[in-house]
Amino acid sequence: MKTKTTPAPRIVSPAEWLAARLELLRAEKELTKQREALAARRRALPWQRLPKPYVFESVDGPVTLNDLLGERSQLIVYHFMFGPGWGEGCKSCSFVSDHFDGMLPHLRARDVSFAVVSRAPLSELLPFKQRMGWQFNWVSSHSNDFNYDFHVSFTPEEIAAGRIRYNFTDLPSFPFEEAPGFSVFVRNAAGELFHTYSTYSRGFEHLMNTYNILDLVPNGRDEEGLEYPMEWVRYHDRYEVPAVTA
């Protein structure tokens, strides 16, 4: 297992350690206040009507966003990178998705439904879902424009012409024909459905709790020198487990 080489730590007295910790605590509290203020601004964003109805393929047959909401008024969708013919889902999206199942009952208790959407046909999604042991609702947008309208899938023509729209930015290129993201929808008392928020790229990094935990330890994420930040990530059934020694 790779171990990061770090500078020798500064060893101090308990009093010096406490003084340094309290200084950091002040910065942490300020960040918490900033995060709360930003969350309030996010919730205050205006709503927009959906451009069209969408019908997805699910284990229960054709479903709409309203069906994905069920009895709840709010819906979070994770745009999972899994294109037709890929055989298995994106490794990084799988890392993100490993964090979902435990939160599902808590979201339901707060009037929030959750679903994962990918462009691959359902027949390709379900074997991979079974392999990973996930329980969340996963549906396919293979037969609709959902992924394209939310700018997480790109046509061959867009890629060839260098006209990629991702993370609210025009890009000349993108390494894949699929991209990740989160989108939020809400249904009002009249039964009308609205899009309230989407975030892409590193905008949902804070939702990957493994990263939050790694940020607590001395070596941190240990991603310096890698080809790209998540290069170390594997499917959770593909990590090499060190042999147990006596």
pLDDT in tens, the chain (246 residues): 455 556 788 999 999 999 999 999 999 999 999 999 999 999 999 999 998 999 999 999 999 999 999 999 999 999 999 999 999 999 999 999 999 999 999 999 999 999 999 999 999 999 999 999 999 999 999 999 999 999 999 999 999 999 999 999 999 999 999 999 999 999 999 999 999 999 999 999 988 999 999 999 999 999 999 999 999 999 999 998 765 554
For the chain, helix, strand, coil in percent to 5 are 35, 20, 45
- β-strand partners of 187: 193
What pTM did the predictor assign? 0.92
pLDDT at 246: 47
In angstroms, rounded to a whole number, what is the distance separating the alpha carbons of residues 53 and 64?
A: 7
The conformation of residue 185, written as its DSSP 8-state character, comes to E
Tokens 């960040």 locate to 31
DSSP 48-98: EE-SS--EEEETTEEEEHHHHHTT-SEEEEEE----TT-SS--HHHHHHHT
- Alpha-carbon distance 134 to 96, whole Å? 12
Neighbours of 200 (CB within 10 A): 19
